[in-house]
Structure 1
């Protein structure tokens, strides 16, 4: 319940929370950060806490993604602003603004992701409307230079270094092609992004439903495997990536 309202299962992902990010395994202690209330609020809780505490509220924009990287939580907004929080201290959250201005592409941005790479870089993945493409989608990857506080554009080969990347509403995952030969190098495997109830999206991006694979070299978006899709799939995605415990 929230404000005396009872939410059904579908509403949880549309009205209550968008994404939850962990600093590490709950068994080791740690912190969870949640993007919720239609991307307008950021809250956190430590293992053992009985309630969530607000970190930030945003107006006129919305939080697109969050990732834990080098001891801090980094959050990017739909307009491209980037901030980080240190939530480990005893005296409350410590915020740092990395990028304070939008990148000029936000009007065409479908969604954004933040990715912490195995080689230590923080990447931003932007999914952009591109009507010149058959699938109307273009994906660009930038490296977040935390020292200069700028985004540095990367070529497909340098961005992913020949790996396959899985992105969605759970934690990102990099997989080497030599160990998983059925995957494709320099490709991003997407599940349908968490979407607001936006008629503009429904008109332009209906082909992005279910799980998709984007080839950074060919700039193509294809189904990763057969899916029900349709309008229902774009608004209430059921697909997520998961890593089995072996």
Structure 2
């Protein structure tokens, strides 16, 4: 009697077949493929184009062109909704698609704790983990009840036709459902991963930097609407929020263009405690950023416009002295302690150049910023344009790094690029779905 046929395991596949499989995969699956075993790692190396690491930030931008035809047979993803991931180490680009049925993405509004922040076709915010292919919806834009009002049809069906901005005096204009997603949100940051048991707090800067709102995401106490945290919408106020960050425990910090630093303590669940740490800094800047350094300090990075055409800007770095309620200036050559910083709409990435020698130490990689200060416009020495710029703190120079989008830049919509650092590779998700993926081809 013949012995029953034993089917070979996945680890026993021929390497040429494995190479064919990895060439059919998008970036998240290809990275997980590489991590399975030495044979699969050899196959991914032979296939070429699969990066060796995803520990460094990726530059992510929206893609308007659909995936190539050979990629469109994959049932799991929608080729019309995709992103371009650029690896800063080898400057190669990879395409990643949203799962089918998850809606469209019209804008990138941030990246935090391994999640991209997207505005969808209804201008609602959605968290997306591209390396696990999971999405988490945030409260809808109509949840900003003091800012946005939905406009519904009178055909009896109650279909959403657009939105009305409530903060415009005498303005009854109705905007289509896509428009607010391109202009309403400045930046969103998380206190942690929303997939954790306790969930996370999402803090968003919106309304042209004039307001802060928050919501609880994940866990048992998820919010159904946004709660207004701070507002500078009054006409007499010429300030706006430049940046927000989560730093230590339950605290967020918000920094304005005029240098006002405010903390929000969320240790009380229903009533965050607000405290003004620094009342004002009169230095005229293009923009400001907050950085939570690995060694525990909260840093302020000021970008100042200069008239030197070769330099374009000057960057100054300060450390928060919480006890003295002041910012302490740091030496540009010592402020980052040999680290590299990635700034933009993302929660800042801070990496040691010793661990990643391909990166430039004591340098800041900037994506296109929100230019809220009008002095930056129309100046011949303004070098803020789309794409990534690198500021060398030792040389005090702003240099072009690599191009992501075209060179035009304005205030009509969000900057469409963010730094994204994945939290982990979806090893279990990938290996569970691989057989059906392989069978379909």
The TM-score with structure 2 as length reference comes to 0.52
Unmatched segments (≥5 aa) in structure 2: 1-140, 142-147, 152-162, 164-174, 426-441
Once the two structures are superposed, what CA deviation does each residue of 1:32-74 show, in whole Å capped at 9, x if it has no partner?
1111000011111112110000011113210000011112110
- Higher Cα radius of gyration: 2
Residue 239 (structure 1) shift:
2.0
In the alignment, what sits opposite 2:275? 96
In the alignment, what sits opposite 2:229? 55
Please give the alpha-carbon distance, in whole angstroms, between the structure 2 residues aligned to 1:46 and 1:75. 18
Please give the alpha-carbon distance, in whole angstroms, between the structure 2 residues aligned to 1:132 and 1:61. 27
Q: Map 1:1-246; keep pairs closer than 5 Å.
A: 2-3=148-149, 4=151, 5=163, 6=175, 11-14=180-183, 16-28=184-196, 29-47=199-217, 48-58=222-232, 59-71=237-249, 72-101=251-280, 103-106=281-284, 109-132=285-308, 134-196=310-372, 198=374, 200-204=375-379, 206-209=382-385, 210-232=387-409, 236=413, 237-244=415-422, 245-246=424-425
Once the two structures are superposed, what CA deviation does each residue of 1:60-107 show, in whole Å capped at 9, x if it has no partner?
210000011112110000000001011231341211110012x2213x
Partners of 1:192 and 1:234 within 8 A in 2: no
Residue 9 (structure 1) shift:
5.2
Residue 214 (structure 1) shift:
0.2
Let me know the Cα RMSD of the aligned residues: 2.1
Please give the alpha-carbon distance, in whole angstroms, between the structure 1 residues aligned to 2:404 and 2:224. 39
Partners of 2:242 and 2:257 within 8 A in 1: yes
Larger RCO, structure (CA 8 Å, separation 6 or more): 2
Once the two structures are superposed, what CA deviation does each residue of 1:202-236 show, in whole Å capped at 9, x if it has no partner?
31265212111000010111112134442237865
Q: 1:197 to 1:110 in 2, by over 3 A?
A: closer
Q: 1:234 to 1:158 in 2, by over 3 A?
A: farther
